[in-house]
């Protein structure tokens, strides 16, 4: 099943106050939009992710989305939300998916459960709406600002996103509604006679509208879950060659590193740290050195596998801290490139990756220049 996520992020977000549009504001160290894109990109049932952005935000989008998997080249939105969604649907129509989930870029707290439930509903219905039943008493205010009559809340729901549809049905509905204005995609679908099922939403799936909402979302991110750490350690000796691979970066050197794969001690240590945090053994169990198919393999394969296992187990990677131990080559000139490469493999913000280097003051095998060691610590949050 081919399922696309269409992330609507072309708005200006003026109610969030002065500064960048709300989808590019920082939320616990990452842009709001990156968290939204990442939630869908990491979901096993999502095949591709297309963002609809404002033409002025190309650079901001590239920075916010760097390294995330499954992303298609962004689409430029229209004057209204409806026009932006239509633009995104028309882009997807070139290679139409079976289903599409339309989601606000400013809803970064969407859960994997909610994404899966919306997709599941499409097996029996042409559309699905994530929503919450209204439980509070609803009153209509008078023109003078006084409490007026009570409104019957029976059957009232608070609409959220994702709003999920069979692709052909929602594309046809938007094409037929080109001369009308609707408040959301469910309204567009309903006007075309598309039945939309209600899916239980999530109180945490808030929409960032004001600066206060960012503070609330940060408190939600930091409030908890099960925090686990893992450690990794790896060693490779020097051998013939003119470069070494460290953290996915090719570093010129008078020697190479000897190993069954590309001998990237940095990525190996981080891989073991993540596997340790989720209780999934070590790198050798998943990629045995006795298996010839891993001979010379790039180590980003190993790290990406560990990150996927972590996400499938309900964990998000909070941070990775790596120390490379060697006399040569010099690591400092390559640290930024290494951090970016690791962040890209893990689909996390570069601020969540630390790469450091130290020597052993001439002591031991690293001090004698016989090889390189690496040690890593990974922190993962479950829940």
Pick the closest to residue 207 from 130, 285, 272 (CA basis).
130
Torsion of CA 70, 76, 82, 88, to 10 degrees: -40
pTM here is: 0.63
pLDDT at 312 over 90: no
- 321 backbone dihedrals φ, ψ, rounded to 5°: -125, 115
Task: For residues 147 and 241, state if they share a domain.
Answer: no
**Tokens 């009308």 correspond to what residue?**
180
pLDDT for 120-129, tens place per residue?
A: 999 999 999 9
Task: For residues 358 and 231, state if they share a domain.
Answer: yes
pLDDT at 365 over 80: yes
CA distance 252 to 337: 14
Task: For residues 127 and 8, state if they share a domain.
Answer: yes
Task: For residues 183 and 249, state if they share a domain.
Answer: no
CA distance 35 to 145: 38
pLDDT at 18 over 60: no
Give 32: exposed, middle or buried? Use CB within 10 Å, 0-12, 13-18, 19+.
buried
Task: For residues 309 and 177, state if they share a domain.
Answer: no
**Tokens 């997807």 correspond to what residue?**
92
Task: For residues 263 and 281, state if they share a domain.
Answer: yes
User: DSSP secondary structure string, 215-252?
Assistant: HHHHHHHHT--EEEEEEEEEEEEEES-SEEEETTEEEE
Task: For residues 100 and 186, state if they share a domain.
Answer: yes
Tokens of 232: 């990794």
Distances, alpha carbon 334 to alpha carbons 24, 67, 242, 329, 349, in Å: 28, 18, 16, 10, 18
Secondary element (H or E) of residue 64: helix 58-65
Tokens of 89: 């649907």
pLDDT at 14 over 60: no
Task: For residues 15 and 58, state if they share a domain.
Answer: yes
Task: For residues 181 and 263, state if they share a domain.
Answer: no
pLDDT band at 12 (very low <50, low <70, confident <90, very high): confident
- Domain range for 206: 3-222
Report the SS3 class of residue 321.
strand
pLDDT at 101 over 90: yes
Considering 164, 195, 222, which residue would you say is the last residue of a domain?
Answer: 222
pLDDT given at position 13: 65
Task: For residues 307 and 375, state if they share a domain.
Answer: yes
CA distance 132 to 39: 20
Q: How many CB atoms lie within 10 A of CB 174?
A: 23
Tokens of 92: 């997807």
- 335: CATH: 3.30.1330.50
Task: For residues 129 and 19, state if they share a domain.
Answer: yes
User: DSSP secondary structure string, 94-111?
Assistant: TS--SEEEEEETT-TT--
CA distance 380 to 372: 26
Considering 222, 240, 255, which residue would you say is the last residue of a domain?
Answer: 222
Q: Taking residues 298-323, report their average pLDDT.
A: 92
For 23-32, 218-227, 345-354, which range has the lowest pLDDT when averaged over its residues? 218-227
Task: For residues 218 and 359, state if they share a domain.
Answer: no
Domain count, the chain: 2
pLDDT for 146-202, tens place per residue?
A: 898 998 888 899 999 999 999 999 999 999 997 788 989 999 999 999 999 999 999
pLDDT for 229-271, tens place per residue?
A: 999 999 999 999 999 999 999 999 999 999 989 999 999 999 9
pLDDT for 50-95, tens place per residue?
A: 999 999 999 999 999 988 999 999 999 999 999 999 999 999 999 9
- 379 backbone dihedrals φ, ψ, rounded to 5°: -115, 125
Cα angle 16, 17, 23 (rounded to 5 degrees) comes to: 40
pLDDT given at position 225: 65
Q: For strand 75-76 and strand 256-257, is the pairing parallel, antiparallel, or unpaired? A: unpaired
Q: How many CB atoms lie within 10 A of CB 318?
A: 19
**Tokens 């350690």 correspond to what residue?**
233
pLDDT band at 224 (very low <50, low <70, confident <90, very high): low
CB 308 within 8 A of CB 271: no
pLDDT band at 217 (very low <50, low <70, confident <90, very high): confident
CA distance 157 to 9: 24
pLDDT for 315-335, tens place per residue?
A: 889 899 999 999 999 999 999
Considering 222, 247, 271, which residue would you say is the last residue of a domain?
Answer: 222
CB 325 within 8 A of CB 372: yes
- 192: CATH: 3.90.550.10
CB 378 within 8 A of CB 276: yes
The segment with the largest mean pLDDT, out of 18-32, 133-147, 368-382, is 368-382
**Tokens 């616990």 correspond to what residue?**
28
């Amino acid at each position: 099943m081919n399922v696309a996520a269409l992330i609507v992020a072309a708005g200006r977000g003026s109610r969030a106050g002065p500064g960048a549009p709300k989808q590019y504001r920082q939320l616990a160290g990452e842009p709001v939009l990156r968290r939204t894109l990442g939630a869908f990109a990491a979901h096993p049932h999502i095949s591709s992710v297309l963002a609809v952005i404002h033409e002025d935000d190309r650079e901001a989008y590239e920075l916010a989305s760097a390294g995330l998997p499954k992303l298609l080249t962004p689409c430029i939105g229209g004057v209204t939300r409806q026009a932006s969604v239509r633009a995104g649907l028309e882009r997807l129509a070139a290679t139409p998916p079976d289903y599409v989930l339309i989601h606000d870029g400013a809803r970064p707290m969407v859960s994997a459960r909610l994404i899966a439930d919306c997709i599941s509903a499409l097996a029996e219905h042409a559309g699905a709406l994530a929503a919450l039943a209204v439980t509070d008493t609803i009153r209509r205010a008078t023109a003078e600002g006084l409490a007026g009559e009570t409104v019957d809340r029976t059957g009232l729901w608070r609409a959220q996103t994702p709003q999920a549809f069979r692709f052909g049905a929602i594309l046809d509905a938007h094409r037929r509604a080109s001369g009308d204005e609707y408040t959301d995609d469910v309204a567009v679908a309903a006007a075309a006679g598309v039945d939309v099922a209600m899916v239980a939403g999530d109180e945490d799936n808030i929409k960032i509208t004001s600066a206060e909402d960012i503070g609330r979302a940060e408190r939600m991110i930091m409030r908890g879950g099960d925090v686990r750490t893992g450690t990794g350690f790896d060693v490779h000796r020097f051998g013939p060659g003119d470069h070494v691979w460290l953290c996915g970066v090719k570093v010129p050197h008078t020697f190479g590193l000897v190993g069954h794969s590309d001998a990237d001690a940095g990525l190996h240590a981080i891989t073991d740290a993540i596997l340790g945090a989720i209780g999934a053994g070590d790198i050798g169990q998943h990629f045995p050195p006795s298996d010839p198919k891993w001979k010379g393999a790039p180590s980003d394969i190993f790290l990406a596998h560990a990150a996927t296992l972590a996400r499938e187990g309900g964990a998000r990677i909070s941070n990775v801290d790596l120390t490379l131990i060697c006399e040569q080559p010099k690591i400092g000139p390559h640290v930024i490139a290494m951090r970016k490469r690791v962040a890209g493999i893990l689909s996390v913000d570069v601020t969540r990756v630390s790469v450091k280097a130290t020597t052993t003051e001439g002591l031991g095998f690293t001090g004698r220049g016989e090889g390189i060691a690496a040690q890593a610590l990974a922190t993962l949050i479950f829940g």
